[in-house]
Structure formats: structure tokens, C-alpha cells
Structure 1
């Protein structure tokens, strides 16, 4: 027991020395790493920012035609559902779906045998009534018959003629004809089908010329008039522009929206435009206005304000520095944006790489791959 007690102080002393050595070793490593991080952060803080490469353009003054924009809907000059006018069985169908027809073309016939037979009876009565009237008339000239007998035969003749006209109308009701020239839709009846008055047979649309209806705010009422030019584009034919002219302006302002309905007429060769088609309408107003514009890519749009980066020479180093400027934007056309206030004409602004820019950060301009700026861009793959 005495010897074990004598060893304990030595053992404890060695253990303490070992722990102190480990503490010094790991503490030195930790301190070295911390020192390295501090020095690295200082180096980064003092390192100059690399110049961001951007494309640039000048703020230009342009003359723009004054316009109003709206969305519209195509409407046929004449468009109806051709229907039946009588009860009957479809006997003949004389058209194909999608066919072009002329006014008065026969489209379909219903069975009309009883009506035609009744018409034959009336025509026979007409022949008899006419012979009786001619005979009484001849006798009346010689003074053999009275005026009352002559009037009676004339009345019978006129009654038969009226009945024939009524019966011919009944026979006519069993035919379906095109009320105007245009293009037919999809057939809605079949041979042998028993139809009632008012049942649809086929739709008929007159599409050349064609109307486009659109709404404009009441504030524009003093600027618009019949005869102003319009241009229409559609999602169906994005590469085409269809011209037209304002043909009518509604005399009434809508109570709910405070908009006025405007109608324009356009030529539609080839029936490219169809009734019900969505349309983007641009109405050209008289006169032009001068304004400052920049490419749309130069504007950084955000909820708290739109901004551009103006590129100016650094007075200290001679390079270019980006200065962020908040601007008020106006009308947009194509890939150009109107600048109402915030920059001056001729100022150079960055048009790409805006996410890389910082206020008062260095920049370098490279316009080798600059995108073309147009009022009416037409992508090649559209």
C-alpha cells in the first residue's frame, strides 16, 4: 500500500503534463487557423472588385406615332345558324361541311309530298275558276249576266290565287337556302332525320370583310373617329399584321366599365381570320410625340421602383463605373421602353448583365453580341 501511494503523485504529474501538451498543440492549431481566416478576410476586403462585362446603349430620343391599344374579338359581318322553318323529314342534303356557298344556294330539302299535292289541287281549282270568270265576263259584255255574278267569279278566282300563294309558301318552307354568301360550318342534320321548326341545320359565316370589336376607355372618346387606321395581330398568325379602319363607334358608354365599344372593318382574303378569334388591336391616332427610350433589357423592374445603371467614367482610375438611377417608365413598344424621368438623352446605360452590377462598381463594355432593338421585333422562330 505504501509503494502504490508513492507512485500516484508521479503518475498524476505525467498525466497533467500530457494534457497540457495536448491543449497547447490543439490551441496552437486553432489559433493558426483563426489567424489565417482573419488575414484572408482582410485580403478579400481590400481586394478590388473585378469589372463586370456588360452590353450598353445610349438613351435616344425618338418620334413615336400616338396609339391606343386594346384587345378585341373578331366578328363576322353576317353570321347565323341556318335553321328549318317547318316540320318534316330531311329528304336531301346538298352541301358539305366547310363549303363556300352563294346567296340563294339550296342547302337541304324536307319531304313535302302532301303540300305539293295540295298545291296541285289548288292549281286545278285555279284553272276552273279562271274559265268560269272568263265565261261570265264574256256573257256580261253582251248583257246576259249581272254585275253580281261577275263579281262572284272574280272573288273566287282571287281566293284561289291567294290560297296558291299560301300553299307555295308552305312548300317553300320545306327547303333550306343560304340567306347570304359565306362559308358553312359543320353539318347538324342527317338524312331521314325528323326535324322541327327552328332546328339548326348548319352555321353560315360571311368572313370577308370581317369586323373586330374592341373597347376603349371613355377618356379616349375625344381622340377616336370613324376612318382611323388600326393594325391587328393574333396569336394564330404572330408574323402577320392585318390593317383595317374604324367603321363605327357606339353612341353609348358602358355603365359598368365606362368603356366605349368600337368596331373596325378589315379585309380578310383567304378567310384567315375567323369569328370569335382573339385580337390585339393598335389604333393609330393623329400626330407623333418625341420621347426618350432605352432597350427594355436596360430597366430593372421591381416593386419598389424601376432602375437603370448609368455608365460613367471613373474620375480616379479612368475606367467605367455603374451608377444606379431610379427612373419613371412609360409606354412600351417592342423591346423599347419610354423613360419619362430619371436619365438624360445621350446617357449610356447597361443593357445586359444587370444582376452582376453594383452601385459604383466597375464595368467593362462588350457589344459584340448585342441584341437588335426594334419597335416591332419579329423572332425568326415565331
Structure 2
């Protein structure tokens, strides 16, 4: 029993000594000779990445949302009520202008063509016979003229019959990419029945509302860039093609149309696009976005300053401008060539000692 109590007391003393050792270590342990690193001990210098401020090119931008459309788009439909006898395309197929897409039942038109051909053949025989008689001097020349007129009328009737038969074949009005279809041979279609869609997407148009206050700053030829949620990290470039002549009385904006090449067909009609319109360029002081800390309506950076024992991080209020390509425009508060902490601002206190792990100027 005594031995058991002794062991419990010894274990308690051991635990107490270990706790004291941990406390002493936390209070007096340094951070490896004062060189500091991420999460270094109290009294040690924090190792930070540094950035030397320099000027970069910035531009004023408008961020707008638009809708992509094909350069030409149409719904392929029938103008007659008739059965489809043949479907000559596949879903998503690329076709050239004039390519046949579907054939409609054409019994009446085919019968008309047979009748018209027979009339042409008879008129041709009458003309040949009249010509022979006229050449031999047996018949008057007026008979040949009448036979020639009858032949021309029969040929015109045949051309009209062939045209009516041609209307039973629906063709692509321009080159493009076909959409999905639900029709098959035997489907009854009527006027306005959509058979498929056809889009020319070699060039994409993006229509977006342009507030009237920007009309004097945006014109045909102004460069734009566009992004889509469907392709994160991808940017498409183009130019303003034209701006509508009318202002919407409710939204106080005009419709602007941008055009951009789409050689791979990635952008599809109807896709929502975020459009960035750039308006002029200027040189301004810049720092990385990671070097800026926002607080309320203001912003600050940590400028690295010399001190008696090395370097310290000095908190500096700055006025910021636009954000572009990962950099923030600095309107006031810093000068070119000054060094700021580039990242990890949440681990730094004003006036804290720091050491530089690396330096960059963004070039």
C-alpha cells in the first residue's frame, strides 16, 4: 500500500517537472540564434518576402456582363406542311452554305416535273418538224415562230416545276454548325416548325449594355477582353465593333457589340460573358495584391525600415487605385524603390523586427 502511494506521488512530481520545463522553454527559448522564420519565437525577427515598389502599366477598365451570339444564327424551319422523307445531317455537324439538310415529300411536285418534261419533249418535236418544213419551203415561217414560242413556254414551265421540287429540299443558308434535332423520316412538319438551328460561330458577337456616361470614351475599335465561367483561367480578346445609336430610356444605356475570333468554337451562342473594356493606359506605382491589407474603407502596407538591431516592419496607410493582373495601383503613401512586405501581413505587428527571405520588383 505504501509502495503504491509512493509511485503515485513520484508520477505526480514527474508530471509537474515536465510542465515547468515546457513553461520555461516557452518563456526563454529563442528562435535559432535570432534569425527568425515563420512563426518564430517572441523577441526574434520574422522572416518575410519583400517587394521593391516600381511602376507598372495600368488602364481604366469597365466591367460589364454580356451575352454571346453567333455572327449569324437562324432556326431552320419548313414553309410547308409536309412529311420529312430524308434527314441528311447529323447533330452538331459543320455544313457549308447550300448543303441539303432535309427532303420533304414531293409527290405532287415530281408529277408536275414529269408533265413539264413531257411538254418540253413534245414542243421540241413540233419545233424540229416545223423547222424542217420551213427549210424545205413547204410551210410558212410563221409556223416555226409559233413552234419556237411554244418550246420556250414549255421550257419555262419545266424550270418552274423544278423550282417547286427544289423547295422540298431545305438547305443551309450559310456555313456554320448545326444544333440538335428531333425530326426523323416520317415526321410531319408545318410552317414555323423548327427542324434544327444553324450558327456561324467562327466569329462571336457579344452584346452588352454600355452606360451612357461612358459613350464618349468607348468607340468602334476599342479593345476588350472577355471571360466565361465555362472556361476558368481563359481570356478571349477582341474589339468593339459598333455601339447602338439609341439609348434605352429606362436603363440609360446603349447596346455595345464586341466581336472576337472563335476559331476553336469554344464560345457558344447564349453564353454569359464578363467583358472588360480598357480605356487608355498610364504608369503608376504598384504592389502585389498580397502586400495590401484592407481595414474598413482604408488600406495599408508594411514598409521595411532600417533599425538599430536590423530592420522593422512599419505600417503605412496608402491610397489605392485599380487592381489589374494581380497588382494594386498605389496613388499615395509610397515612393518608388521602397521595400514592402509582400505576403503574410496577418503575422506581423507594427514595429516588429523582420528579416528578408527574398526580394522582388515584379519585373
* TM-score between the two structures when normalised by the length of structure 1: 0.69
Structure 2 residue 332 is matched with structure 1 residue 338: no
Give 2:186's match in structure 1, choosing from 188, 192, 198: 192
Aligned counterpart for 1:173 among listed residues 167, 170, 173: 167
Structure 2: segments with no counterpart, 5+ residues: 1-23, 29-40, 134-139
CA deviation after TM superposition for structure 1 residue 222, in Å: 1.3
The equivalent of 2:32 in structure 1 is none
* Structure 2 residue 313 is matched with structure 1 residue 313: no
> Match for residue 5 of structure 1?
none
The structure 2 residue matched to 1:347, chosen from 338, 341, 351, is 338
Distance change in 2, residues 1:254/1:325 (3 Å): farther
Matched ranges for 1:54-203 at <5 A: 54-121=48-115, 124=118, 168-203=162-197
2:294 corresponds to: 301
What SS does structure 1 have at the residue aligned with 2:294? coil
Bigger shift: 165-174 or 272-281? 165-174
Contact 2:50 2:360 in 1 (8 A): no
Q: In the alignment, is the contact (CA less than 8 A) between 1:86 and 1:173 conserved in 2?
A: no
Q: CA contact under 8 A between 1:74 and 1:211: conserved in structure 2?
A: yes
Task: From the superposition, tell whether residues 303 and 190 of structure 1 become closer, same or farther in structure 2 (CA, over 3 Å).
Answer: farther
- Mapped to 1, the partners of 2:360 and 2:75 lie a distance apart of 50
SS at match of 1:116: helix
Offset, 1:128: 7.2
Aligned partners of 1:312, 1:182: CA distance in 2, in Å?
Answer: 63
Contact 1:188/1:200 (CA < 8 Å) preserved in 2?
no
**CA 1:180–1:290 in 2, change beyond 3 Å: closer, same or farther?**
same
CA distance in 1, matches of 2:79, 2:291: 65
Aligned residues: 319
Higher mean displacement: 167-176 or 262-271: 167-176
Secondary structure of 1:252's counterpart equals coil
Aligned position for 1:256: 250
Name which of 218, 222, 232 aligns with 1:228.
Answer: 222
Aligned to 1:218: 212
* In 2: Cα distance, 1:229 partner to 1:341 partner: 29
**CA deviation string 1:153-180 (max 9, x = no partner):** x8x9999888767655543332210000
Q: Output one character per residue of 1:186-234: Cα deviation in whole Å (capped at 9) or x when no partner.
A: 2231111122222111111111122233333322211222223333444
Q: Matched residue of 1:271: which SS?
A: coil
User: How high is the TM-score relative to the length of structure 2?
Assistant: 0.72
Give RMSD over aligned pairs.
4.0
Change (3 A) 1:159 1:70: same
Instruction: Report Cα offsets for 1:101-124 as digits up to 9, x if no partner.
Output: 111111110111123214434555
Match of 2:355 in 1: 365
| Residues 16-55 of structure 1 mapped to structure 2, 5 A cutoff | 49-55=43-49
Aligned pair in 2 of structure 1 residues 105, 263: CA closer, same or farther (>3 Å)?
A: same
Shift of 1:59: 2.6
| 2:15 corresponds to | none
Please give the secondary structure, in 1, of the residue aligned with 2:220. Answer: coil
Q: Is this contact kept in 2: 1:51–1:361, CA < 8 A?
A: no
SS of aligned partner of 1:115: helix
The secondary structure found in structure 2 opposite 1:355 is helix
Shift in CA distance, 125/340, structure 1 to aligned 2, threshold 3 Å: same
Contact 1:77/1:207 (8 A) holds in 2: yes
Contact 1:319 1:362 in 2 (8 A): no
- State the secondary structure of the residue aligned to 1:190: coil
The structure-2 alpha-carbon separation of the partners of 1:49 and 1:258, relative to structure 1 and needing over 3 Å to count, comes to farther
Q: Name the CA distance, whole Å, in 2 between partners of 1:299 and 1:232.
A: 26
